[in-house]
Chains A and B, each alone.
Chain A
Amino acid sequence: MIDVRGVALAYGECVFLRGVSLALRPGEVLALVGPNGVGKTTLLRAMAGLHVPAAGEIALDGRVLQGLTARARAREIALVSADGPLVEGVTVRELVSAGRLPYRPWWRWSPAPEDAGAVSEALAHTQLTHHAERPFHALSSGERQRVWIALALAQRARTLLLDEPTSHLDVRHAFEALRLVRAFAARGHAAAVVLHDLNLAAAFADRIALLGAGRLLCCGAPQEALDEELLRVAYGVRIDVQRQPDGRVVAFANPNA
């Protein structure tokens, strides 16, 4: 479990997010939403141990992240950054194999049997087995995004952090990517996803952390976090929220208000 306790995030002297406290629990998908520049990506990077908070601390199962080695962190937390590069000259399997780096000592160049198993499993979970020997650069955007998720799954980490995994994807491929995240959580793991689409967040996340005005405005179930007043504070525009008969909430911006 990742515990974010009273965290402030800054670049240099400029503090842009303060007093963030939230927990990422096993078995759940947490969506991080909020306007551009509020610090969603930086919060995600901090939860991966790649950005040191200006104040507060982030702990993994009670151990402060900064006290862990980079390798130990990578075995526990996998991060899928936004906009992966177009790597050339590698097959899908080779790229996904990079997920085993945290387990491989520098002198061992060839993968161990457990590495091959983890890679095959990650390919199977992401329905990429039949693409395994294809060149990565020949895949479509949606398939590439699945490869990055497969790479993270191959890390066999218990926590998966994804930064805008649905950007550049159409609705079907966005659903596919987020279903993979849900399936990961269903196996008893924890996932946090930065999303821009509030409805995707409401549909796929157990809880939503709404960031805005330099702080965490709310962290709770979609029905609780997608509150019209909180959304107005966060985004500075009016967003109408409708509750469906089945309990789901649907948000849509109202440009005329």
Chain B
Amino acid sequence: MVSAVHSSSRRAATLCALALVFAAALALGSGVGAVRYPPGDIVRAVVHPFGTSGADQVLWMLRFPRVLIAALVGAALSLAGALLQGMLRNPLVDPYLTGASAGAACAVAVALVLGLALPALPLVAFVAALATAAFVAALARTGSGISAERLILAGVSLSALFAGVVTLVLVLAPPSSTSLGILAWLGGSLSGRGWAELSWAALYALVGGVAALALAPALNALRLGEERARALGVNVDRAHWGIVGSAALLTAAAVSVSGMVGFVGLIVPHVARRMVGSDARWMLPACVLVGAILVVAADALSRALVPPIELPLGVLLSLLGVPAFLYLTFHRRTA
């Protein structure tokens, strides 16, 4: 996809506009659900955080952590996708390439079969996601660096292996809460997540996010090809390890609290590039905001469409987001 060229002032204005939309999405996401709250209630609850009214309780105990987790998941997956697409110079790469989500899904499936308690699942998923990504990176290692081709091959292969294990568990497990738990994980959901999950996922996502932003100049140099980046004094091997490491951390933090949420990490970097161009110093912050807005809005929709049923977040994102993206991309091209 051809990215347009943008001036710095236009990019800054775009980021400001995105920040405003993000704030509106947070308010919208906090307001919708089984009980709806008007914006006035939300503002009051934010301004007076220790209120004792029913609205305050629901907003602070359930809604606020949930919309913040949605924002975190969207931002983290988008950032991870942008990092890997930039490193591999391949627009088809998504954050699940490192095998992190497939590893997490496999571990969750096994944990459910073993009867592990639900609150333990995010931690299991996080550890499995990081371990899988580390294994994929180790397989892709050549000399002191990481080979792009080997990373893709190792990631795709291990993801297929883990997907096979998950299917096997689904087939063999008794038709009970175990299968339902696995399916809920595969569909992606933020149901039942609270401050505890948010706090530690945010910590890891923050580390990955800061590392990602620090890698922006290296990512810009890698657009010119590895050889030219090296000639410009970039330590390409170190940049590759940094990119894979932060992408793995971001993906692990996201999937551990949300399960499999597809589409975001693949598509948001393209949207961000259209909005602010391909300079990573602007594109990465734009990815954070667009990804956060998208998942907060999708989560709100998942609760609002057929209440009190919550639709799977990943499914909703794919069903609504992909056609919208295809329309925007191909309609403009043929127009």
Q: A residues bordering B, Cβ < 8 Å?
A: 45, 48, 50, 69-75, 77-79, 81, 84-85, 87-91, 94-95, 98-99, 101-102, 104, 106-107, 109, 133-135, 137, 155
Task: Give 15 pairs: A residue, B residue, CB < 8 Å, sorted on A.
Answer: A48-B231, A50-B231, A70-B233, A70-B235, A74-B231, A74-B232, A74-B233, A81-B231, A85-B225, A90-B278, A98-B224, A101-B217, A101-B220, A102-B232, A134-B5
Distance of A137 Cα from B278 Cα, bound (Å): 12
A84 touches B225 (CB 8 A): yes
B233 touches A73 (CB 8 A): yes
User: Smallest Cβ distance from A73 to chain B, in angstroms?
Assistant: 7
A87 touches B278 (CB 8 A): yes
- Residues on A with C-beta less than 8 A from B227 are 45, 50, 79, 81
A98 touches B221 (CB 8 A): yes
B36 touches A (CB below 8 Å):
no
A109 touches B273 (CB 8 A): no
Among A84, A133, A155, the residue within 8 A (CB) of B232 is: A155
User: Smallest Cβ distance from A32 to chain B, in angstroms?
Assistant: 17
Distance of A77 Cα from B276 Cα, bound (Å): 32
B232 touches A87 (CB 8 A): no
Among B214, B232, B278, the residue within 8 A (CB) of A88 is: B278
B5 touches A90 (CB 8 A): yes
Distance of A176 Cα from B281 Cα, bound (Å): 34
B225 touches A81 (CB 8 A): yes
**A70 with B228, Cβ < 8 A, contacts A90-B279, A98-B220, A104-B217 known:** no
- Residues on B with C-beta less than 8 A from A88 are 2-3, 278
Q: Mark B205-225, 1 if CB is under 8 A from A, else 0.
A: 000000000101110110111
User: Smallest Cβ distance from B10 to chain A, in angstroms?
Assistant: 12
- Residues on B with C-beta less than 8 A from A75 are 233
A109 touches B3 (CB 8 A): no
On chain B, which size bracket covers the interface? 20 to 34
B141 touches A (CB below 8 Å):
no
User: Smallest Cβ distance from A136 to chain B, in angstroms?
Assistant: 8
**A87 with B214, Cβ < 8 A, contacts A70-B235, A74-B231, A94-B279 known:** no
Closest to B220 in A: A98
A89 touches B214 (CB 8 A): no
B4 touches A (CB below 8 Å):
yes
Closest to B7 in A: A133
**A85 with B231, Cβ < 8 A, contacts A109-B281, A135-B5 known:** no
User: Smallest Cβ distance from A194 to chain B, in angstroms?
Assistant: 14
Distance of A50 Cα from B233 Cα, bound (Å): 10
B3 touches A89 (CB 8 A): yes
Among A69, A73, A84, the residue within 8 A (CB) of B224 is: A84
Q: Mark B25-54, 1 if CB is under 8 A from A, else 0.
A: 000000000000000000000000000000
A106 touches B234 (CB 8 A): no
**A79 with B5, Cβ < 8 A, contacts A89-B273, A104-B217 known:** no
Distance of A104 Cα from B217 Cα, bound (Å): 9
- Residues on B with C-beta less than 8 A from A107 are 214
Distance of A101 Cα from B281 Cα, bound (Å): 13
Among B230, B232, B277, the residue within 8 A (CB) of A98 is: B232
Among B216, B230, B278, the residue within 8 A (CB) of A70 is: B230
Q: Mark B244-273, 1 if CB is under 8 A from A, else 0.
A: 000000000000000000000000000001
User: Smallest Cβ distance from B86 to chain A, in angstroms?
Assistant: 12
Closest to B8 in A: A110
**A71 with B233, Cβ < 8 A, contacts A85-B224, A89-B279 known:** yes
Among B216, B232, B281, the residue within 8 A (CB) of A99 is: B232
A87 touches B228 (CB 8 A): no
B217 touches A87 (CB 8 A): no
Distance of A148 Cα from B172 Cα, bound (Å): 59
Distance of A94 Cα from B223 Cα, bound (Å): 12
**A101 with B278, Cβ < 8 A, contacts A70-B234, A79-B231 known:** no
Closest to A110 in B: B281
- Residues on B with C-beta less than 8 A from A89 are 2-5, 273, 277-279
User: Smallest Cβ distance from B327 to chain A, in angstroms?
Assistant: 21
User: Smallest Cβ distance from A67 to chain B, in angstroms?
Assistant: 15
Distance of A168 Cα from B214 Cα, bound (Å): 37
Distance of A98 Cα from B224 Cα, bound (Å): 9
Closest to B231 in A: A79
User: Smallest Cβ distance from B136 to chain A, in angstroms?
Assistant: 26
Among A72, A101, A135, the residue within 8 A (CB) of B234 is: A101
Distance of A99 Cα from B235 Cα, bound (Å): 15
- Residues on B with C-beta less than 8 A from A109 are 216-217, 281
User: Smallest Cβ distance from A206 to chain B, in angstroms?
Assistant: 24
